Chain A
Amino acid sequence: MAVQQLGVVELAEKVGGALPESLAPDRPDDGALWVNAPKIADVAAFLRSDAGLDFNFLSSISAVDYISHFDVVYHLTSFSKRHTALMKTRLDGRYELALPTVYHLWRGADFQEREIWDLMGIRFEGHPNLKRIMLWEGFDGHPLRKDYL
């Protein structure tokens, strides 16, 4: 059985039922589960622990700079249920951006969150070791941002 991407409607239903007000409305219909930024860790914990979903593997975390806002994208995989899902959240503005960490759910988030902090400048609250990873401490700016030339 090949791996399927989980339909967003089904996913939203489950998550919305368990964690009301965690899903962000009015987001583009791109097959992703749009989550309110402060709730990201809660939703992640639900996705991780729910027996029917069981997303035990964090494939990747990416951040995209849209100038007016940032999107943070989580690619999740479930080894047992053989499905994947896309979870997104949006951070408005460009300064003092912060997001709850998922480090404690998936240890694999460690370096990726550090990388996003390093290169994109999004702080992950609760990450135990949020230092720069590719660049050195004291580097000025976050080079993957669109305004960094």
Chain B
Amino acid sequence: MSIRTEPMTVNIGPQHPSTHGVFRLRVTFDGEEIIEVEPIFGYLHRGTEKLAEERNYTQIVTLTDRLDYVSSMINNQAYCLAVEQLMGLEVPQRAKYLRTLTAELQRVASHLMGIGFFLQDLGTLGTPLMYAFRSREKILDLFEMLCGARITLSYSRPGGVFFDAPEDFWPALDQFLADFHSEFQELEQLVLENEIVMVRTRGVSLLPLDVAINGSVSGPTLRASGLGWDWRKMAPYDAYDRMEFDVPVATGGDNYDRFWVRIQEIHQSIRIVRQCIQQIEPGPTRADVPLVLRPEPGAEAYGRVEASKGELGFYLVSDGGISPYRCKIRSPSLMNLTVIEHLLVGWRLADMIVTLGSLDINLGEVDR
């Protein structure tokens, strides 16, 4: 006797607690098993690229805040690098260090959020998330000190950073680094080797390296598949050429490895922050640039950084006006979703949520 079964199509999202925003997946299940996946985007599409064509170069910085809104600092940095490339601007040394430092702090904050929600998706009742937020809040406090905002920072500007750090920033940063160690250790103890986390994530949703590369996957997701490609190492920008750090690589390409790579990257980021504090020297923080920039007509630039989610690129084309003629944003979150079908089909509903968490997408960036 055979039981008659029917596939069942379910919309996961756009209103679902674990799709990290307004992502929607139309999933067909056979029981709990996924047999078909169709990602549907655009619920947060704000036309950033079109808006950028009507803003001047400095105003666009505020738009970049809203791409990956948990790592605005890195978005600002990526955009400013592109503009500087476009204009041929030389950035003062101190500004480079400040950017590097803040970008790494932001990477820690972003990864903490990624890890926290990954574990939330695994079904913890928010405990690791709260521990992660405990540290993240302190980073945001530092950012508030630096530039008056916590999320939408607009700290980097073409030609440097908008202002030097206040005097009381440095002791506060030291205090944060001192506290962070034990706080993060607690989080690691809670989850890093937890058996339930292991059985839930090891060997689940495998991403082989060739599929990852072919699918334009970058960032921690790529590194978890076994390739230590990090733009900070490969094409150092700002002060990264003077930083000593390792690139965590895992070879499994499963959910656990993606999680593990993020945890290790936090350690490396803290290492970079410490080096920045040691190496930074007094000096100007912004090149002598006017508020309104006018690059050469026909100039174009592709500025890329290793953002917390992967390769974030800004392709700018100028027509000589005060705003870019075209501003294309290469968002890592969208590109990492290319492999979503490969990752999900054949796994179960519960794995799907965890896999989405392990990709650490940000819908502000996916939809732009």
Contacts and interface: CB of A to CB of B under 8 A. Distances in A.
Contacts of A110: 215, 338
Interface in A35-87: 56-60, 62-65, 73, 75, 79, 82, 86
The winner among B41, B367, B368 for most chain A CB atoms within 10 A is: B41
A111 B50 contact: no
Interface residues of A, number: 32
Contacts of A108: 214-217, 335, 338
B204 to A, nearest CB: 21
Contacts of A15: none
Given A64-B317, A79-B213, A107 B330 contact: no
Contacts of B302: 59-60, 75, 86
B88 to A, nearest CB: 14
Interface of B: 41-42, 45, 47, 49-50, 211, 213-217, 227, 229, 231, 234-236, 298, 300, 302, 304, 311, 313, 315, 317, 325-326, 328, 330, 334-335, 337-339, 367-368
A30 B328 CA distance: 18
Q: Which of the listed residues B213, B216, B236 has the most CB atoms from chain A within 10 Å of its own CB?
A: B216
Contacts of B42: 133-136
Nearest to B228: A79
Given A28-B298, A59-B313, A59-B330, A2 B234 contact: yes
Given A62-B328, A75-B313, A134-B45, A106 B214 contact: yes
Contacts of A57: 213, 216
Contacts of A109: 216
A147 B234 CA distance: 39
Nearest first, the 10 closest Cβ-Cβ pairs linking A and B are A108-B216, A60-B330, A62-B328, A134-B42, A134-B45, A3-B235, A107-B215, A64-B326, A3-B234, A107-B214
Interface in A129-149: 133-136, 143-144
A33 interface: no
A119 interface: yes
Contacts of B367: 134
B119 to A, nearest CB: 28
B157 to A, nearest CB: 24
10 contacts: A2-B234, A28-B298, A59-B302, A60-B328, A73-B315, A73-B328, A75-B313, A107-B214, A108-B214, A110-B338
Given A60-B330, A107-B211, A135-B45, 16 more contacts: A2-B236, A30-B298, A30-B300, A59-B311, A59-B313, A60-B313, A62-B328, A64-B325, A73-B315, A75-B313, A107-B214, A107-B339, A108-B335, A108-B338, A110-B215, A134-B45
Nearest to A84: B235
Listed residue (A28, A60, A119) with the most chain B CB atoms within 10 angstroms of its CB: A60
